[in-house]
Amino acid sequence: MLLRYFYDSKLAHASYLVGCQVTGEAIVIDPGRDVEPYLSTAKAEGLWLAAATETHIHADFVSGARELAERAKVRLYLSDEGDAHWKYEYVHSYPHTLLKDGDTFNVGNIRFEVKHTPGHTPEHLSFLITDTAGANQPMGIFTGDFVFVGDVGRPDLLEKAAGVAGAAEAGARQMFNSLQRFKTLPDYLQLWPAHGAGSACGKALGAVPSSTVGYEKMFNVALSHADEATFVRALLEGQPEPPKYFAQMKRLNKIGPPVLAGLPQPEHLPFNRLDALLAEGAPVVDTRPVAAFATGHLPGTINIPYDNSFTNWAGWLLSYDQPFYLITDPSAVPQIVRDLRYIGLDNIGGYFDLSVFDAWRKAGDPLQHYEVATPDQIAGQVAAGHATVVDVRQADEWQSGHIPGAKHIMLGYLPERLAEIPADQPVVVQCRSGARSAIAASILQAQGVPRVINLLGGIKAWDAAGLPVER
């Protein structure tokens, strides 16, 4: 048996290719939308992709299952568990097998045993795998978003992201029961989850890519609860805000996302298009680093730096219903487009290269900038009430300690809550270290807030300076 691991660091998404080297067949588990790595790896290993499967209808990325069905003509093995509202709608257009608890299927000599493990979602499956060429017992389990290294899947996404009332507590109770079943598995089984540290599908995921069932039984806090009510309270408490785009991902992965071959490539736009787009209020995203944007940018643009957080904040802040535009280095465009399409942001209207800044100056228009300040530089103004502090961190971060008098608006909700921010005095934006607040500063300035100041070092620097923190 051959096992290959794939990891997308921007979404903390893990997927796997399992191959039978005797028959040459392979299957991909929880594929992402960019299927090239699976195709090229299979080819390099002398395998052909025969199948693809998913543990559940994903909420944080666009699945590549349909893409593989189109491009590689694989058979799809997908869940038929859960209620009628969360069934795969597109699957009937392709060769497929719908799976229930206790079912088995083979890819070459490798047997997959299906376990229904609801909790994160009602339809969630896990897969025990056995290499029957040399064993009659399983060697590992693909747990998807059921059990992670150090955590378990959050049960509140259907309620928070998809609007299914009451789903969070019901999911937590399902998770408790699924974990009782998990605890009966042999300790030696290897455990391969679909996400790692940084994913919003749980609240305390470990950074180690794999584990064992026995290790998680001993050290995963979520598995330590013997009482259902205590477990439910602990699991629901402190879950991070689910990104807005999660609802869109659930819908796309249910009905079937567009195939990539049918999508146009973003056009390189001339500078003379920019004025009209900005005048129309079209979203224009400058992907340069924070420092470059702060010192000089085009009025009306927002800054989402192209780093490991880019995909997450693009999903929070960009609309799926209208085109948006990029300012970026042309060499980065293919990878940026790939990352945006990984979360279904296919409506890229085009991009401008970095020469727009020189062209803007030559046209006689000044670049805009926003202020930055250290805690010591701004503390007096804040204490005197001569500045509005906006804290853009998550709710649990806010509760752990914040600047007295600050207003809490999590970054992802800032565009829709602008009316709550007074514009008659300076607005100081603040996060943990200054990165998220830099994005917030760009949004506020683009929306006409006259004086925006990004707090350098965020609450960490404020606390380290001995300034008051309210807890």
| Residues belonging to the active site | 431
What does the DSSP 8-state code read for residue 198?
A: T
Dihedral sign of CA atoms 388, 393, 396, 397 in order: negative
Quote the distance between the C-alpha of residue 289 and its chain's center.
Answer: 20
**Cα 196 from chain centroid?**
11
Residue 48: other Cβ atoms inside 10 A: 16
139: three-class secondary structure by DSSP: coil
State the SS3 of 68-119. HHHHCCCEEEEECCCCHHHCCCCHHHCCEEEECCCCEEEECCEEEEEEECCC
> CA 380: distance to chain centroid?
38
Q: How do 110-116 and 125-131 pair as beta strands?
A: antiparallel
Count Cα atoms within 13 angstroms, Cβ side, for 378. 25
Residue 172 and residue 232 in contact, taking contact as beta carbons nearer than 8 Å = yes
Distance CA(393)–CA(412), nearest Å, equals 9
Whose tokens are 């980065």? That residue is: 332
Edge-first strand listing for the sheet containing 348-352: 302-303, 284-286, 324-327, 348-352
Q: Name the residue type at position 5.
A: Y
Q: Rg of the chain over CA atoms, in angstroms?
A: 24
Distance of CA 369 to the CA centre of its chain: 30
CA-closest candidate to residue 254, choices 161, 148, 149: 161
